[in-house]
Structure 1
Amino acid sequence: MISRKVGMISLGCPKNQVDGEALLAKLKKAGYEIVNNIEDSDVMIVNTCGFIEQAKKEAIDTILEVAEYKNAGLISAIVVTGCLAERYQDEIIKEMPEVDAVLGIGANSDIVKACDKALCGIVTTSFPNKCYLSINDERIISTPSHWAYLKIAEGCDNRCSYCAIPGIRGGFRSRTIESCVDEAMALAEGGVKELILIAQDTTKYGQDLYGKYSLDILLKELVKIDGIEWIRLFYCYPQRITDSLINVIANEKKVCSYIDIPLQHSDKTVLKNMNRVGDGDDYRALISKMRKAIPDLALRTTFMVGFPGETDEQFENLCKFTEDVKFDKMGCFTFSPEEDTPAYDMQNQIDDDVKVRRQEVLMNKQYSITEELNKQRIGRIYKVIIDTFDGENYVGRSYMDSPEIDSGIIFTCDNKLNIGDFVNVEITDYNGYDLIGEAIL
């Protein structure tokens, strides 16, 4: 009998990770044994990202590293899934003959057949319509048992000029409220205490099904679930943050006073060229409204520097915007010209060294802002969920910190605590981005 052990390396964003969890659930149901190490696998799945150049390079390097195990006879087959597979399709087989199967986004339901054929030496490629990607599948949760992602929609209609995602993932489509609630209840029954809501644009949730933005309605249903203590919002498009959503965040205790709003830039001309709506003044007004309504709101954003035509003055205005607003969390990436996007052929492309310098300048400014904010947090007490223990210190997060992306709180406690527990921690110091404290029992 052929051994059927399967492992997975999942790259890129949480949305892709959720897809990978669904793939593993299908394989387990079909009798495959899920393993954690490449050397223990018969089939290795590389669930790829293909969003920007750096992600593509990581995906290709990972496939080639896994191929070394196959060439050495340690594994039998390699299956490539995810965004790189959808975007580059047959090129992967041509360029990397060690790969046995390439499945596009819409072919995830064929994962069992593809792995079966791969173990028999049969090469498979499949790229059906993206709409066949299910967003209601069972999953094997790959995050720690106390928190999980909940993907509430798939695809994107925004058509930002730099972004390949609509072409890779297809148009926006929401899950029903009932479907989201059912999955959240199952996660809670499995021990999940923190839900992180994700989609390409969470604030557009429900418009296609219910004729209006319905994230606020969904949240009001999710907070009713026993066992769920925190609900966190990612990928919120600024022009779709409604007064009703703000009120829900402000008034529902289970909804963290935390929101991720990838603004991309603050200059009106740059944003217009990005095919995004609004400008720095609009964003200032929105943030002011939110901070007034939601005490101690933690704001996360992402900016892009080096977009074609970005002048020194426009970059300096972005820096000033960042210094004025003082985001709690901020990430910055450089513009990556992606084929099949309008920005790929735009004039006045920025040199790579200028992009990197601007990125460093902006992140240095954010580091100074973080230090300033962290100083103000000394002496405060936060409710913290525990993620790890190294034998001496616990590491956890407050409502201000999302797992795997944001910083955390390092603290000590004389009593033994469990991973996933909540505990109050008094902040005594900080170290870079991280806060340091002592548990209060």
Structure 2
Amino acid sequence: MSKKTIDFITLGCSKNLVDSEKLMGLFEANGYHVTHDSNDPHGEIVVINTCGFIEDAKQESIDTILEFAQAKTEGRIEKLYVMGCLSERYLADLEQEIPEVDGWYGKFNYKELLNTIVTIDTINTTAPRHLTTPRHYAYIKISEGCDRHCAYCAIPIITGKHQSRPIEEILEEVRSLVAQGTKEFQIIAQELTYYGIDIDGKQHIAELIERMADIEGVEWIRLHYAYPAHFPWDLLRVMREKKNVCKYLDIALQHISDHMLTRMVRHVTKEETYELVRKIREEVPGIHLRTTLMVGFPGETDEDFQELLDFTRWARFERMGAFAYSEEDGTYSAKHYKDDVPADVKQARLDRLMRIQQHISAEIEGAKVGKVIRVIIDRTEGDWFIGRSEFCSPEVDPEVLIPMKENLTIGEFYDVKVTSAEEFDLYATTQYE
């Protein structure tokens, strides 16, 4: 057993990953060796960063905790700590149900783990993040919490009100990462268009991205998790004018029928949503939109679902994910609505929606054959280099496969010509005229 080794296990979203990276950096600065998502955790200490957002994520977190509780019982690890959203939300129940855990920490007090574990007299409380991603890209979390209170969402219950990070603090983090070799930045928040409102009542996301784009060495900036209501239109100007701001926007729309949008407490209408998509595409030609849609929300009728299908065909989202509604403790919908859409109907609607999207995606990716695109190389896999274009976020979007014989370098940019396309992935070559 390796002493002074801490194995971190991160579950859930990229916002959790940033928290893990910050804590890993602090432990390294205090003399510990850290590993992340190891296939064979063998340190004396395991820290599990949990997700508590939806039922499947909660179950994964609980199963993982139980797995390592058993490892502790068998003597394969000495200490087990849990942090993150699940313990923030269900602390009292978890402490009683899983006594093998040595300490529970929430979403915001996880740095107290330092005081629990580190035994030296003077603890270093400032340290750079330990990146778990390839060095050439990193996630930048610009805020915590959310003030939107959509009917189905437990995030505000877990994380509380929106809190923007100071703009200079964010920009300094980007500069520091650039100095370490990071070229690509995924900007994340529960709701990034709200950035700055809690500071002075104004949206500052356009200013933040514009200033970030002016930092020398920043090659790509990609935006995640926008909200459709009160969209900051000046952000589109920045996306259009700044060449290193990717023509990519992740904006969860959830539904389109006014009946559903009202019941979901989304503060936007069908007409406004259509206009939003039209204006984004008009202001930023060539943009790729990623969205998330929900089926089976309480009260969803066949007519509501048909409107959603019609909207999906019209919008032709380059990237789209969808999921079936599941009731979450404490949310508005759990308190006020009956979960009245049968499970088999939810699944049938989800399958039908995704079939339409798969056809759209295949057409959009197929239209790229013969075009030259710029990609960054993430890794190798089998006989291929795996890259991404500006239209692709890590782990969730299509990838570009280039033959290993072309002798490329991970973390570098290349212009490649697309030779063929599958439903979600492209094949390309650097060897073209």
Q: Which TM-score band (shorter chain)? A: over 0.9
Pick from 73, 81, 88: which aligns with 1:79? Answer: 81
Counterpart residue type for residue 232 of structure 1? R
- CA apart distance, 1:280: 2.8
Partners in 1 of 2:117 and 2:388 — Cα distance? 38
Can you list the C-alpha shifts for 1:128-162, whole angstroms capped at 9, x where unaligned? Answer: xxxxxx9x974211111110000011111001111
Partners in 1 of 2:79 and 2:385 — Cα distance? 40
Counterpart residue type for residue 99 of structure 1? V
Partners in 2 of 1:228 and 1:297 — Cα distance? 20
Contact kept in structure 2, 1:43 and 1:115, CA below 8 Å: no
Say what the alpha-carbon RMSD is for the aligned residues: 1.9
Counterpart residue type for residue 381 of structure 1? V
SS in 1 for 2:311: helix
Task: Mark the runs of 5 or more structure 2 residues left unpaired by the alignment.
Answer: 120-124
- CA apart distance, 1:114: 3.1
Distance 1:429 1:349, change over 3 A: same
Distance 1:58 1:258, change over 3 A: same
Partners in 2 of 1:395 and 1:198 — Cα distance? 23
- CA apart distance, 1:79: 0.6
Contact kept in structure 2, 1:81 and 1:102, CA below 8 Å: yes
Contact kept in structure 2, 1:39 and 1:74, CA below 8 Å: no
1:328-407 correspondence runs (5 A): 328-345=318-335, 346-347=337-338, 349-390=340-381, 392-407=383-398
Match of 2:403 in 1: 412
Counterpart residue type for residue 253 of structure 2? L
Partners in 2 of 1:19 and 1:399 — Cα distance? 25
Distance 1:212 1:225, change over 3 A: same
Partners in 2 of 1:72 and 1:105 — Cα distance? 29
Partners in 2 of 1:336 and 1:422 — Cα distance? 41
Partners in 2 of 1:15 and 1:240 — Cα distance? 23
Contact kept in structure 1, 2:3 and 2:43, CA below 8 Å: no
Contact kept in structure 1, 2:48 and 2:83, CA below 8 Å: yes
TM-score, normalized by length of structure 1? 0.92
Match of 2:19 in 1: 19
Contact kept in structure 2, 1:423 and 1:440, CA below 8 Å: no
Match of 2:257 in 1: 267
Can you list the C-alpha shifts for 1:30-50, whole angstroms capped at 9, x where unaligned? Answer: 222213434321111110000
User: Aligned residue pairs: how many?
Assistant: 424
Contact kept in structure 1, 2:29 and 2:127, CA below 8 Å: no
SS in 2 for 1:362: helix
Pick from 316, 319, 322: which aligns with 1:326? Answer: 316
TM-score, normalized by length of structure 2? 0.94
Match of 2:134 in 1: 144
- CA apart distance, 1:337: 0.5
Can you list the C-alpha shifts for 1:322-344, whole angstroms capped at 9, x where unaligned? Answer: 01110000001111111111111
Match of 1:108 in 2: 110
Counterpart residue type for residue 438 of structure 1? T
Contact kept in structure 1, 2:226 and 2:252, CA below 8 Å: yes
- CA apart distance, 1:164: 1.0
Counterpart residue type for residue 231 of structure 1? I
Partners in 1 of 2:331 and 2:35 — Cα distance? 38
- CA apart distance, 1:393: 1.4
Find out whether 1:434 has 2:425 as its counterpart: yes
- CA apart distance, 1:28: 1.9
Counterpart residue type for residue 286 of structure 2? D
Counterpart residue type for residue 35 of structure 2? V
Match of 2:278 in 1: 288
1:135-214 correspondence runs (5 A): 138-214=128-204
Find out whether 1:244 has 2:234 as its counterpart: yes
Counterpart residue type for residue 19 of structure 1? D
Contact kept in structure 1, 2:7 and 2:41, CA below 8 Å: no
Moved more, 276-285 or 398-407: 276-285
Partners in 1 of 2:299 and 2:221 — Cα distance? 39
Counterpart residue type for residue 214 of structure 1? H
Partners in 2 of 1:154 and 1:138 — Cα distance? 19
Pick from 407, 415, 418: which aligns with 1:424? Answer: 415
Task: Mark the runs of 5 or more structure 1 residues left unpaired by the alignment.
Answer: 118-133
- CA apart distance, 1:209: 1.6
Find out whether 1:308 has 2:287 as its counterpart: no
Moved more, 323-332 or 94-103: 94-103
- CA apart distance, 1:176: 1.3
SS in 1 for 2:430: strand
Partners in 2 of 1:7 and 1:376 — Cα distance? 44
Identity within the alignment, %: 39
Partners in 2 of 1:180 and 1:405 — Cα distance? 24
Moved more, 408-417 or 185-194: 408-417
Match of 1:8 in 2: 8
Partners in 2 of 1:287 and 1:342 — Cα distance? 28
Counterpart residue type for residue 419 of structure 1? I
